[in-house]
Amino acid sequence: MMSVCVPIVRGGGLSNIKYTRFERARIVGARAMQIAMGAPVLLQDACTTPLEIALKELEEGVIPITVKRDNRR
C-alpha cells in the first residue's frame, strides 16, 4: 500500500525554483535532520521516515528553507 502525504501549509516555496542536485540534497538532508531532532512536520500523516517526509515537503514546496546563490558566473 502506498502512503499519501497531504500538505497542511502551501508556501510559494521550492516548487517554483530549479535547484541543482547538490542544493536539493542539502535542502532535503537539512530538513530531514530538523524533523529527526523534533521540528514540526509540515505534512499530515502517512510518511514514516524523516527523509521521506523531507522529500514530500520538497515536492509540495512547503520547506521553509532558502538558498542563497552567487550569481557572478
Mean pLDDT value across residues 25-38? 94
pLDDT single digits (tens) 33-62: 999 999 999 888 777 899 999 999 999 889
CA distance 49 to 2: 14
Domains identified in the chain and CATH numbers: 16-60 (3.90.940.10)
pTM above 0.85, yes or no: no
Mean of pLDDT over the chain = 79
Q: Can you state the percent helix, strand and coil of the chain, rounding each to 5? A: 40, 5, 55
Specify the pLDDT at position 16: 59
> What's the grid cell of residue 6?
497531504
